[in-house]
């Protein structure tokens, strides 16, 4: 079996994670010391590298995991290996082009999609190739599809749509009206994140079913109810990003009502799964299992924060502060990264279980450090956000420089926690990376 292409996606994803986190540390240093590397790597370039790399980590590792599960873990005959290979090469060259675009300063300058706008074309082409391969491979089995197949299919289709939507600004109907442009821009981003959550949460459910050896948990009516609720949130629950933007109130009302139940959904699923998990199964799959337990804890903490900031009266005070950053980093690191690392550990355990067992101790240390660091990391952001909000709304004529100075201590804490978080990721990913690279070559 030639597994190398799905493994290449995952390996490339891990590399993107390491680059993205390093860029994150450097921009935090620049935040505290604006002159740092300013002449070579200005903040407006480096932050774009950070955001693009971290988004790439999530996308590439999710895509690689899905390809691996469909073809090699479930032994489906993939529709076209050629399309998979073309998909890989498109993303490889697009990734390099994005880095060139950001370092050279040839940028599109839209939040999240900061790279040159032309590069959206190969990215969309990759999603189209994946959708052809995915649906052609699996569509004839649709009668008995477990929920993760529905989630991955949904994620692929909606990711393609919302990537297109994020580029509607090129049409004058949107571009001529700033409020429309801003609202649709953040609509697309909210749903774009919802789409990758469909991919990532589908992976979590797949892992649950595989580790427990019970496909029923991915086919029950309850799990489908939660899937549709998640999809409902993807479609209608994005507007907490623009509560403060003067668009029509019904947009905000719908989002307030829809709220953000998606993480609560997954939390209840994982919790239910852990309750029924037998001790023997835990020992057999120790590392992926532990990571899913950790994810469960982070889901609950992030659900709490998400619900709080989705109430307009609270969002009014938290919007534009570091609490929003805590929310986005809490979900991308605490939830998405935990699930995806768990997925990669599962894949590695299928490739070379003995080698993974030998590295279990160092990975476990990394896991402990990861969680402690992440807790401090998020706590510092929330405290900085509270301070900024207090100054914005409860003090007269406050200057930005004063707000900046008032939160400096918390940003130092954030930086130190970020460095230890990076070390913890290195401890976990380097052993995984080495096993993956060996399999890429073989």
Partner 1 sequence: MENDKTHEQRNVVLTRQYRIILFLLVATFFIYNTAVYTIGTRNNLPPMSKKAMQGELLWQKNNCTSCHQLYGLGGYLGPDLTNVISADGKGPNYVKALMVSGIRAMPVFNFSKEEQDQIVAFLSCIDSTGYFPNHNAKLHFSGWVELEYKTIYTESNE
SS3 (DSSP) at 136: helix
> Residue holding tokens 């693009």?
52
Q: Are 376 and 413 in contact (CB under 8 A)?
A: yes
Give the count of beta carbons closer than 10 Å to the beta carbon of residue 14.
24
C-alpha to C-alpha distance for 323 and 317, rounded to whole angstroms: 10
211 is an interface residue for partner 1 by CB under 8 A: no
Q: Are 241 and 186 in contact (CB under 8 A)?
A: yes
Question: Site for partner 1 (CB under 8 A): which residue of 79, 145, 300, 375?
Answer: 145
C-alpha to C-alpha distance for 281 and 156, rounded to whole angstroms: 31
In this structure, what token pair is assigned to residue 92? Answer: 């490889």
47 is an interface residue for partner 1 by CB under 8 A: yes
Of 144 and 213, CB closest to partner 1: 144
C-alpha to C-alpha distance for 304 and 254, rounded to whole angstroms: 20
179 is an interface residue for partner 1 by CB under 8 A: yes
* Contact flags string 334-353 toward partner 1, x per CB under 8 A: --------------------
Smallest separation, CB 384 to partner 1 (Å):
9
244 is an interface residue for partner 1 by CB under 8 A: yes
Tell me the chain's radius of gyration from C-alpha atoms: 21
Of 88 and 169, CB closest to partner 1: 169
236 is an interface residue for partner 1 by CB under 8 A: yes
99 is an interface residue for partner 1 by CB under 8 A: no
Question: Site for partner 1 (CB under 8 A): which residue of 40, 77, 246, 283?
Answer: 246
Question: Site for partner 1 (CB under 8 A): which residue of 10, 184, 270, 383?
Answer: 184
Question: Site for partner 1 (CB under 8 A): which residue of 72, 210, 241, 359?
Answer: 241
Q: Which range binds partner 1 by CB under 8 A, 8-16, 36-44, 52-60, 201-209?
A: 36-44
392 is an interface residue for partner 1 by CB under 8 A: yes
406 is an interface residue for partner 1 by CB under 8 A: no
Of 93 and 316, CB closest to partner 1: 316
In this structure, what token pair is assigned to residue 114? Answer: 């900061």
216 is an interface residue for partner 1 by CB under 8 A: no
- For residues 360-393, one letter each, b for 16 or more C-beta atoms within 10 angstroms of the residue's C-beta and e for the rest, the string is eeebeebbebbbebbebbbebbbbbbbbbbebee
Question: Site for partner 1 (CB under 8 A): which residue of 86, 128, 163, 182?
Answer: 182
Q: Which range binds partner 1 by CB under 8 A, 34-42, 198-206, 332-340, 349-357?
A: 34-42
C-alpha to C-alpha distance for 189 and 165, rounded to whole angstroms: 9
C-alpha to C-alpha distance for 405 and 37, rounded to whole angstroms: 21
Question: Site for partner 1 (CB under 8 A): which residue of 5, 17, 23, 45?
Answer: 45
Distances (CA, A) of 337 to 159, 197, 200, 289, 354: 19, 11, 9, 14, 24
Q: Are 133 and 80 in contact (CB under 8 A)?
A: yes
Element (H, E) at 95: helix 81-104
94 is an interface residue for partner 1 by CB under 8 A: no
Q: Which range binds partner 1 by CB under 8 A, 40-48, 121-129, 270-278, 327-335?
A: 40-48
Of 18, 26, 2, 16, nearest to 59 by C-alpha is: 16
List of residues contacting partner 1 (CB under 8 A):
30-31, 34, 38, 42-45, 47-48, 107-111, 114, 142-145, 150, 168, 173-180, 182-184, 186-187, 221, 224, 228, 231-232, 235-236, 241-251, 253-254, 256, 311-316, 319-320, 322, 324-325, 392-393, 400
């Amino acid at each position: 079996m030639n597994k190398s292409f799905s493994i290449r996606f995952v390996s490339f994803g891990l590399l993107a994670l390491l680059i993205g986190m390093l860029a994150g540390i450097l921009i935090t240093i620049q935040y505290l010391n604006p002159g740092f590397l300013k002449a070579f790597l200005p903040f407006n370039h480096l932050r774009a590298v950070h955001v693009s790399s971290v988004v790439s980590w999530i996308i590439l590792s999710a895509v690689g995991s899905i390809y691996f599960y469909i073809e090699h873990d479930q032994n489906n005959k993939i529709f076209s290996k050629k399309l998979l290979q073309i998909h890989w090469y498109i993303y490889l060259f697009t990734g390099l082009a994005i880095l060139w675009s950001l370092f050279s300063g040839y940028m599109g300058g839209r939040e999240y999609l900061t790279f040159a706008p032309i590069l959206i074309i190969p990215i969309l082409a990759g999603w189209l190739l994946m959708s052809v391969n995915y649906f052609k491979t699996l569509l004839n089995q649709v009668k008995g599809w477990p929920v993760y197949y529905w989630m991955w299919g949904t994620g692929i289709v909606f990711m393609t749509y919302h990537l297109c939507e994020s580029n509607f600004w090129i049409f004058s109907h949107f571009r001529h009206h700033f409020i429309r442009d801003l609202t649709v821009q953040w609509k697309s981003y909210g749903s774009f994140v919802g789409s990758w959550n469909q991919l990532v949460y589908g992976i979590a459910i797949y892992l649950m079913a595989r580790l427990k050896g019970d496909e029923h948990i991915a086919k029950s009516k309850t799990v489908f109810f939660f899937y549709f609720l998640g999809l409902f949130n993807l479609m209608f629950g994005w507007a907490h990003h623009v509560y403060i933007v003067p668009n029509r109130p019904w947009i905000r009302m719908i989002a307030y009502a829809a709220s953000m139940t998606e993480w609560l959904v997954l939390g209840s699923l994982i919790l239910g799964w852990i309750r029924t998990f037998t001790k023997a199964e835990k020992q057999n799959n120790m590392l992926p299992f532990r990571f899913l337990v950790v994810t469960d804890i982070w889901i609950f903490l992030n659900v709490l924060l998400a619900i709080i900031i989705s109430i307009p009266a609270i969002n009014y005070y938290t919007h534009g502060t570091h609490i929003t950053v805590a929310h986005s980093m809490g979900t991308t690191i605490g939830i998405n990264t935990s699930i995806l690392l768990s997925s990669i550990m599962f894949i590695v355990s299928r490739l070379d279980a003995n080698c993974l067992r030998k590295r279990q101790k160092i990975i476990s240390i990394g896991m402990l450090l990861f969680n402690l660091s992440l807790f401090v990391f998020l706590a510092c952001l929330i405290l900085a956000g509270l301070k900024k909000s207090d100054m914005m709304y409860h003090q007269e004529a406050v200057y930005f420089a004063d707000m900046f100075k008032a939160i400096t201590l918390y940003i130092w804490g954030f930086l130190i926690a970020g460095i230890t978080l990076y070390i913890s990721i290195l401890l976990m990913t380097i052993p995984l990376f080495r096993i993956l690279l060996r399999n890429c070559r073989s």
